[in-house]
Structure 1
Amino acid sequence: MNSASPRPVFALSNPVGLYDPAPNGYSHLAQVEAGARWILVAGQGGETADGALDPDFRAQVRQAMANLITALAAAGAGPRDVVKFTVLVVDHSHERLHVFGEELVAAFGADHRPACTLIPVPRLALDGMLFEIEASAAVAA
């Protein structure tokens, strides 16, 4: 969970007048400082490096998080540099939201809640793919 940045170049917050999204693992607002270097990571699914895809939802979420962290590291960033997620979930349910929240905390820490949009979808790019996550990160330039 080490960040590549010496200090965050962004602030995460929840403006007064909006509901508290903390129990769902995200923040409403991410503000990035001028001059930060942006890292945009394409959607990462639950497939392993050899293309294998576990049929279990939790296993796919866990692998997608690992894939995302690998991509961030390749760009000189870490999990705590993420400011925004977009999440796609096949057959979304409260149970799957809970699994996503648990795996997000396991991978990114309980106190880091980037802005997030979750979109229920009927299917994803690969047969059997149940979860995909893309991220935007910001680090010191």
Structure 2
Amino acid sequence: MSSNKPHAFNPPTVPTPPPTYSQVCITPIVSTSKLITLAGQTGISSGQKIPSDIREHAKGAYKNILSCLKAAGATPRDIIHVRHYIVKTGNPDQDGKDIVDCGWGELWMEFMDREASGHRPPDTVVGVAGLAISGLLYECEVMALVSG
């Protein structure tokens, strides 16, 4: 990237989004640093059936996050902030739990232990009524900073 302007793109290793956004954006901070912002990643791939389990959504989202970060020259260890969106389902077994206890959190920690040596960046957890596509239960946004 030779420009000092943000560069938004779609890695070939994650689903192509609607034309309203790109999956990844690299923003130069200073000549030796770049801010990487990812669109919300979900657990579905192009042409794949939407899973019915939030844990499956989370696993797929983390796989897509890893692919996006790699495409931008970053790793999960470079993450500086995370935002998790969890859909209220109407299922009393699921919705009766605190949002942080719905099954995605353990998978996030496993992912960060494996891919980022246990790095725990700040995060925000938000319960929502719905996401972009009916049936989605989980979405995760990530920002990363790479220096050097």
Which TM-score applies when normalising by structure 2? 0.66
Structure 1: which 5+ runs fail to align?
1-32
Partners in 2 of 1:50 and 1:73 — Cα distance?
23
Q: How far apart are 1:96 and its partner, in Å?
A: 4.9
Q: Could you say if the C-alpha distance between residues 106 and 133 of structure 1 is closer, same or farther in structure 2, counting changes exceeding 3 Å?
A: same
Indicate the residue corresponding to 2:141 in structure 1.
134
Indicate the residue corresponding to 2:17 in structure 1.
none
Q: How far apart are 1:50 and its partner, in Å?
A: 2.9
1:49-76: per-residue Cα shift (whole Å, max 9, x none)? Answer: 4343211110001111111111111101
User: Secondary structure at 2:109's aligned position in 1?
Assistant: helix
Partners in 2 of 1:85 and 1:37 — Cα distance?
17
Indicate the residue corresponding to 2:110 in structure 1.
106
Q: How far apart are 1:93 and its partner, in Å?
A: 5.5
Which TM-score applies when normalising by structure 1? 0.69
In structure 2, give the amino acid aligned to 1:100.
W
Aligned length: 109
Pair 1:120-2:127 in alignment:
yes
Map residues 1-141 of structure 1 onto 2, 5 A cutoff.
Answer: 36-91=33-88, 94=97, 96-98=99-101, 99-109=103-113, 111-141=118-148
Partners in 2 of 1:93 and 1:118 — Cα distance?
16
Q: Which fold has the larger relative contact order, with Cα–Cα distance below 8 Å and residues 6 or more apart in sequence?
A: 1
Partners in 2 of 1:128 and 1:120 — Cα distance?
15
Q: Is contact 2:54-2:104 (8 Å) kept?
A: no
In terms of Rg, which structure is larger?
Answer: 2
| C-alpha RMSD of matched pairs (Å) | 2.0
- Deviation >6 Å, runs of 4+: none
